[in-house]
Amino acid sequence: MDGLTYALDAVTTPSTVLAAAGGVLWGILGGALPGLSPSIAMALLLPFTFDMSPLAAIILLTGVYIGAEYGGSIPAILIRTPGTNAAAATVIDGYTLHQQGRGGEALGLSLVAGTIAGLVGLVCLVLLTAPLSALALYFKPPAYFALAFLGLSIIAALSEGSLIKGLIMGVIGLMVATVGTDPLSGVTRFTFGEPDLLGGIDYIFVMLGVFAVAELMSKVAEKDGVEGGAISKAVARVKLPGLRKLWDLRRAQAIGTTVGIIEGPIPGAGGTVAAFLSYNEAKRWSKTPEKFGKGSEEGVVAPEAANNAVTSSALIPTLSFGIPGSNSMAILLGGLLIHGIQPGPMLLTSRPDLVYGLFGGLFMSNLFMLIFGLLVLGPAIWLVNRPKPYLTAGIFMVVLSGIYVINQSLFDFWIVLIAGIIGYGMRLLKFPVLPLILGIVLGYMVESNYRRSLLLTNGEHRVFLENPLSLGLLICAGLIIGLAILSEIRRFRRPGIAAHG
Amino acid sequence: MHKATLAVSAALFVLAVAYWFAADAIPASRLAGQVGADGLPKLLGLALGVLSLLLAGQTLFEMRRAAAAGQGEDKGEGGDRLPGSWREHLRALGLIGIGVGYLLLLPHLGYIVSAGLLLAAVATYAGLKPSWATLLFAVGGGVVFYLIFVKILQIPLPAGFWPGLLR
């Protein structure tokens, strides 16, 4: 009952309602801009959450994530350019429907399918978070260390590119986290006499650099045209489907929602995989598979339901274990840590107000998506139609202004610019970003629990093997790394493939 | 891309060694417990060293396989060339150059003027031709950003030398 009270409190507090509305609005506009992924849209807002209450901040960020997943379908349907990766599957039938003069209908299907899936995903999140958090009682410092180690192993093993590159980025992330004053002994480390480094390198600046600045650098480098999207204003109206239509499309809706809920918690899978998988499954189970690719409504409903269901279910590992499975979730985790909130098994026990308040916020955000989806199509089209250099300049200015919000220090600008150069280099050389971010975010959790565990046994490492939970998690981490190594060896043995790296 | 990856492996190895020695120089503290402030950093330095050597080994192996398969030196991503041209990468770095220019000008010219200049510079650099529209975008954008950040959000961004002229 307390949980419901917290959720109701969130949906009736003006600051959280505004945060949900603002987040969804920004998310739809950001998602509609090709190249501005949900994670970048979230990262741009991160500095502004500093002065907000933790609940409002986290609702704002999840609102952006939810809004961006719908926003991505707008250019996917209207100009055959997905605004987000997850909207790529929507292009296939969404754009064909638009060519047939049914663009408004396709947008309406995307909006309603996404809202329904988001709400069903939320129910699953509510039902699963409490049982998973019951594990909290068994978590001691060795288990926390092993959990963080497992999280890093999973992300490094499943990241795009080679396992070694993933592990290297995870280690570098942990190294960055060691800069500053050691929280346990008060000794300064790797500051080189620079007072601005005493507090460490804030992960927000690294995130802004490797996500937003690196993306802008890529855009400027490619010089991918000056003109905007050229969407006709004639289609600036969303046509919502009726109940009969929704009933007819229930199979695709159910497939998309189920696939999204299952894929969401899996690290590295995310909305893109879920959208394509559900598109294929919807086609396989459809009574009219021949319509797919030729303007099938089911071909729009299934992927849009999937990528919106992911927005809720992806929160399960983030909230329950403190392990984000995607870039967007890593930024959300950063948003929680900014406010001194450590996600993980103890979160529901220590901050039920925040967890249940977030559930209320997610409910609001899904409803706001339906409302703003209808209202902001015109502004979104206007924005997509602007010449790209204006957008590049505007986003760069938002990044540079946002940095100053946090510490009011010019030193932080340098960190962001350097992180941007490193992020750009990582893209070129195919080093994954997520392990780096996760290493920085989990750095404190890894080190503090490692050292606390050894305090209990006078420096004996056997403590990690004596704790059953820690042992189990470390075995899982070992298995994941082992399987990833086997998979790499098999890849090398295949002639021709190794040559392509 | 192989040569670039090899160079990065070497740089990472140097970083690992330097990091390990920097960790070794961290002073001991009585508050540190069984594992001092240098404990995990030394472990990380060692891990990075090993991983960078493994990356170099993997890359050399890939190069040998590519050579044995008869693949030339410059065959796209699997070969030795980085994606994109040097001109493109320099263009990308140019954006950072504009950012550095903004940083240097900000304390002197203040936020509103620096923001306008940055907007104009980036928009032009990204492909727009200088025009009245670009100028309007820069001036309007500078004012809008000033109103949002300084007036509404109350962020004390540098005002530059302008207030001194008014005294």
Q: Model confidence over A243-288: pLDDT tens digits?
A: 999 999 999 999 999 999 988 877 666 677 788 888 988 988 888 8
Lowest mean pLDDT among A161-165, A178-182, A393-397: A161-165
Chain B residues near residue A420 by CB distance under 8 angstroms: 96, 99
Average pLDDT, chain B: 86
Q: How far is A55 from chain B (nearest CA, A)?
A: 19
Rounded Cα distance, A79 and A229, in Å: 7
CA distance between the termini of chain A: 55
B positions 40-59 inside 8 Å of A (CB): 40-41, 44-45, 47-48, 51-52, 54-55, 58
Cβ separation A164–B66 shorter than 8 A: no
User: B20 at the A interface (CB within 8 A)?
Assistant: no
Lowest mean pLDDT among A87-91, A330-334, A370-374, B27-31: B27-31
Cβ separation B157–A187 shorter than 8 A: no
Cβ separation A447–B40 shorter than 8 A: yes
Shortest CB distance from A165 goes to which of B55, B65, B156? B55
User: What does the pLDDT look like over A120-160, one tens digit per residue?
Assistant: 999 998 888 778 777 766 778 888 888 888 888 877 887 76
User: What does the pLDDT look like over B4-30, one tens digit per residue?
Assistant: 899 999 999 999 999 999 999 888 777
**Mean pLDDT, to the nearest integer, of A87-104?**
86
Task: Work out the pLDDT band at A227, boundaries 50, 70, 90.
Answer: low
A positions 389-418 inside 8 Å of B (CB): 389-390, 392-394, 396-397, 400-401, 404-405, 408, 410, 413-414, 417
Chain A residues near residue B157 by CB distance under 8 angstroms: 401, 404
> What is the number of alpha carbons within 13 Å of residue A68 lying toward its C-beta?
30
Shortest CB distance from A410 goes to which of B65, B103, B137? B103
CA distance between the termini of chain B: 58
Chain A residues near residue B122 by CB distance under 8 angstroms: 220, 389, 392-393, 396-397
Question: What is the pLDDT, as a whole number, of residue A498?
Answer: 46
Rounded Cα distance, A10 and B100, in Å: 42
User: To 10 degrees, the CA torsion angle through A386, A387, A392, A395?
Assistant: -10
Which of A192-206, A217-231, B107-121 shows the highest mean pLDDT?
B107-121
Cβ separation B93–A168 shorter than 8 A: no
Task: Work out the pLDDT band at A457, boundaries 50, 70, 90.
Answer: confident
Q: A189 phi and psi, to 5 degrees?
A: -130, 135
Q: Which residue has the higher pLDDT, A115 or A343?
A: A115
Rounded Cα distance, A274 and A453, in Å: 39
Q: How many residues are there in chain B? A: 167
Rounded Cα distance, A183 and B143, in Å: 42
Shortest CB distance from A393 goes to which of B27, B122, B156? B122
> What is the number of alpha carbons within 13 Å of residue B64 lying toward its C-beta?
7
User: B94 at the A interface (CB within 8 A)?
Assistant: yes
Chain A residues near residue B22 by CB distance under 8 angstroms: 190
Question: What is the pLDDT, as a whole number, of residue A268?
Answer: 61
Chain B residues near residue A400 by CB distance under 8 angstroms: 99, 102, 118
**Mean pLDDT, to the nearest integer, of A69-92?**
82
Residue with tokens 């503090």: A448
Chain A residues near residue B105 by CB distance under 8 angstroms: none
At A181, is the secondary structure helix, strand, or coil?
strand
Contacts with A138 (C-beta within 8 Å, 6 or more apart), sequence order: A469
Q: Exposed, middle or buried, A195 (CB in 10 Å: 0-12/13-18/19+)?
A: exposed
Shortest CB distance from A182 goes to which of B37, B103, B145? B37
Q: How far is B162 from chain A (nearest CA, A)?
A: 19
Question: What is the pLDDT, as a whole number, of residue A416?
Answer: 92
Q: Exposed, middle or buried, B50 (CB in 10 Å: 0-12/13-18/19+)?
A: middle
User: What does the pLDDT look like over A371-430, one tens digit per residue?
Assistant: 998 888 878 777 777 788 888 899 899 888 888 877 788 888 999 999 999 999 998 888
Rounded Cα distance, B13 and B24, in Å: 17
DSSP class of residue A457 equals T
Chain B residues near residue A498 by CB distance under 8 angstroms: 61-62, 65-66
Average pLDDT, chain A: 84
Domain extent listing, chain A:
2-500
Shortest CB distance from B29 goes to which of A165, A187, A396? A187
